[in-house]
Structure 1
């Protein structure tokens, strides 16, 4: 879909989930128009290796975005609220992967994404459920506070490696 959109003229396409489409990566690495328009999501070193192995001779620079896991973890991680979209939680983990991208020829780190579905995607005014609504609002307030601090630290850590990030997506419309 991302390649189709780029071929149709879209100039700024973010593939929002890591992919294992080797053929798609080969096309991306072979066509300058596609490589300039599409940014791929990466959350593990093995993803970079897969993309490299899929190039099939293509030399175009691949645009990369890293994803921060935004789930709220309580009681030392025994309770997790929110989708586990990425294994990357800490500033150190994201900075390490950013360094790996920066060291690899053929890749350019351009973005950082953090989607907090447990805040943006969960309604907090349930009809006839005042206690549950209150519990959701309390969870969301706790998550917003924890994530705001952690996200700021992550952005600083990644920008120390890649100061020219083109974008930082820090949340869904439900949290702004």
Structure 2
């Protein structure tokens, strides 16, 4: 299939910039992720989707998909209003009104679980639960980063780097009549979130793969000890959550893990081109149009400069996707109001032609657009409101 001609025909009459989700490729990714999970359930990371209709479609696609990992209390309340259940707050919350609102919702029969990694978190949730004479469910966040001399390999999340550090918090939760310890989470970001097949970085790729292999063993040991420790205190966990799309192959082998979080793999953004162990289809992107030809071999598009969060670097820039053979100019890159492109395909483009880009990250695309145009079998079959399009802005 000439995918550029396919998308160009579909988007010919649409104003640009416009974002899209290719449902056929999304479905293929969802099926692949369900297979990759093995015998584990998969919890969907909503921050990587940020579109209610897409969340619903993934959940309907397989019984493997169960529950949502939310990123703020306000978002969890919104998803609850939209009919979703089994909501896990992936990050600690502090704002009392929003926490209290979720505790009240849980008291009405919803499954909502808060994330904690210190006594302050647990005491605040417990106090708000006690004020409502309700019990709140909590999950402990176990740090999965590893440290070597001169190197912290992972992200700065929980201060709880092992069972002994976790034990006092677990004991205080289990002693509280207002808290119920339901889960353990450990996100091995250094495995799931670090590319190890970056073009032109052979030595660095080899080092990262070696560090990942060592981390896999350490992560499994740390998580097993934490689960055994919690069980020794009498905790009866409903779930043990692990990983992300990029670490499913290792997370699924751990006997204590009951579910794996996945999010970015459904859209497969630009950063996912830099992984050795898996490959998914680019199911989401956006179209901008050529508005200038400033010189031989160069075209300039209107807009397009949607840069991803994280450490500043070329890998966080949006990628020219279709037609193949385009690249950003190193001194201008992707701009706020215009993006010049060069490469073998530039001479074939005319003013008014579309250029399709992929965002470096998954869900951040939806912060720029109100609607995802849903594409399937040669047609635009719907307009799916993003969180922004639904009037919501959480972070």
* Structure-1-length-normalised TM-score: 0.90
Q: CA-to-partner distance for each residue in 1:67-88, whole Å, 9 max, x for gaps?
A: 011111123xx53111011000
Structure 1's unaligned 5+ residue stretches are none
Distance in 2 of aligned mates of 1:172 and 1:54: 31
Map 1:13-32; keep pairs closer than 5 Å: 13-31=87-105, 32=107
Deviation above 6 Å: which 4+ runs of structure 1? none
Measured on the aligned residues, the alpha-carbon RMSD in Å equals 1.7
Match of 2:224 among 152, 166, 175: 152
Structure having the larger proportion of residues in strand? 2
Q: CA-to-partner distance for each residue in 1:24-49, whole Å, 9 max, x for gaps?
A: 12223334236x42100000001122
Map 1:117-128; keep pairs closer than 5 Å: 117-128=189-200
Q: CA-to-partner distance for each residue in 1:56-103, whole Å, 9 max, x for gaps?
A: 83122101000011111123xx53111011000111122221111110
Match of 1:161 among 222, 233, 243: 233
SS at match of 2:115: strand
Structure 2's unaligned 5+ residue stretches are 1-74, 250-395
Name the residue aligned to 2:157: 85
Map 1:35-74; keep pairs closer than 5 Å: 36-55=110-129, 57-74=131-148
Larger Rg: 2
Distance in 2 of aligned mates of 1:128 and 1:18: 38
Distance in 2 of aligned mates of 1:60 and 1:163: 19
Q: Is the 8 A contact 1:45 1:97 kept in 2?
A: yes
* Structure-2-length-normalised TM-score: 0.42
- Relative distance call for 1:56 and 1:159 in structure 2 (3 A) is closer
Name the residue aligned to 1:5: 79
Distance in 1 of aligned mates of 2:98 and 2:108: 14
Aligned residues: 173
Structure having the larger proportion of residues in helix? 1
